[in-house]
Amino acid sequence: MEEPIDLLGLSSQELGDVASRILPSGAGLAGQIYSRAYEKGLLDLAGLGLSPRSESAWRERFDLRLLRVLRVAREGGEDGAEKAVFGLADGGEIECVRIPMPGGRGGKSTICVSSQLGCRMACAFCETGRSGLKRNLAAAEIVAQVLTARVSLGWDCGNVVFMGMGECLDNLSEVARAVCILGDSRGLGFSMERITLCTCGPGGGIEALRALGLKRLNLSISLNAGNDEKRDALMPINRGLGLSGLASSLAAYPMRRNFVLGVNWCLLPGLNDSRTDAREAAAFCARVGRCLVNLIPYNPGSSPIARAPEEAEIERFASWLEEEGCAVRRRTSRGGSIMAGCGQLGAPRSGPNGPSQARMGLTGDGVYPRGDVQGEGAGIGGH
């Protein structure tokens, strides 16, 4: 018998089409079953009037695979970040993060999801890149992160950013499918304006994304250096396309009048925080079009390449960018104490420079029970 089809890899329309093709009866209830699946995190067929034969056929041909919640860590304070480590069906582990937004929790929070198990981009400041790429995630595994976080952990997030483990444009077909499923009105119902893809800009990726025609989708680029020599050293992917090619691709990307490109700059003291760096960043932005520079303080990982910047250094660089005509948004550093900050996902669990049990929060305000989540192996389903 064929393996059941995971509902999380289908849109509601696709579920109806597939059910009509492979089920003897009951396909007309696909829309209701789909909505229930996203409300409850399970395949709920009760009370729908299905015959025993139809219900049996639904259960044989379809299922819903949430992820196993292996560990959860939380920073202290109401605005602290939370990190979940999810177990995949093949034994791999990925991480996602809930980032509270200023002014409150719940719907104003953002969930940062992973698109790959590992990453092949090997950016010098990123923990995930040190592990290399093990495999791409399927669309169902990407969607499952959001639904598992909601159902099993109570993370009711209003925004989704693809800024976790992996390079999203390196897995574009599955990421694009996941984006469309996340936006399905019968499911989680995220508007495209609430979803952001963050990329380092692999060759051809931005053009391929544009060709999909997702006009309202947000995009941000991880820049971090404004000259090729420095960006080559920090981000090896730059050696292929180069900043000139990247700027051209981004300048051609906007498909709506009010589009603003996010330009992420991880501030690394002594490496990319000089007045010249600010001037080069501004020059890149001027070539691209409307940009907002997201200034992100570096979060040292298991093998730091710099220290975390001091407040005065962040303020100084932000002021230089503004003097050069850039719109700047300072990102508050969150998650660093639990290895949940930008560039820290996928770190080893122990080691002299890695996140020890204390740093992962196994004492104090870290791993905590919430409902049925009580550490290793807890949760529902199988990411």
Given this model, what pLDDT does residue 355 score?
35
Contact 270, 306 (CB under 8 A): yes
Given this model, what pLDDT does residue 292 score?
98
Q: Helix, strand, coil proportions of the chain in percent (round to 5)?
A: 35, 20, 45
Topology classification of domain 75-338: TIM Barrel (3.20.20)
Task: Split the chain (383 residues) into runs of 10 and give each run's mean pLDDT.
Answer: 93 98 95 97 95 96 98 83 95 94 65 97 92 96 98 95 97 98 98 97 96 96 98 96 96 95 97 98 98 94 91 97 97 62 66 32 28 29 27
Helices 30-40, 12-22: inter-axial angle, 10-degree rounding:
130
Given this model, what pLDDT does residue 103 score?
57
96 is catalytic: no
Given this model, what pLDDT does residue 2 score?
85
Between CA 227 and CA 283 the distance in angstroms is: 10
Between CA 335 and CA 339 the distance in angstroms is: 6
Structure token pair of residue 353: 């420079």
Q: Residue 14: which residues within 8 A CB-CB, separation 6 or more?
A: none
Residue 195: strand pairing partners = 160
Given this model, what pLDDT does residue 332 score?
72
Residue 26, number of CB atoms within 10 A of its CB: 20
Ordered by start, the domain boundaries in the chain are 5-63, 75-338
Backbone angles phi, psi at 93, to 5 degrees: -130, 135
Given this model, what pLDDT does residue 308 score?
93
Residue 361, number of CB atoms within 10 A of its CB: 24
If residue 43 lies in a helix (H) or strand (E), which one and from where to where?
Answer: none
Structure token pair of residue 171: 């897995």
Select from 269, 318, 278 the least CA-distant residue to 295. Answer: 318
The radius of gyration of the chain's CA atoms, rounded to the nearest angstrom, is 21
Backbone angles phi, psi at 229, to 5 degrees: -60, -45
Structure token pair of residue 59: 């259960």
Between CA 209 and CA 261 the distance in angstroms is: 14
Between CA 342 and CA 293 the distance in angstroms is: 15
Given this model, what pLDDT does residue 56 score?
96
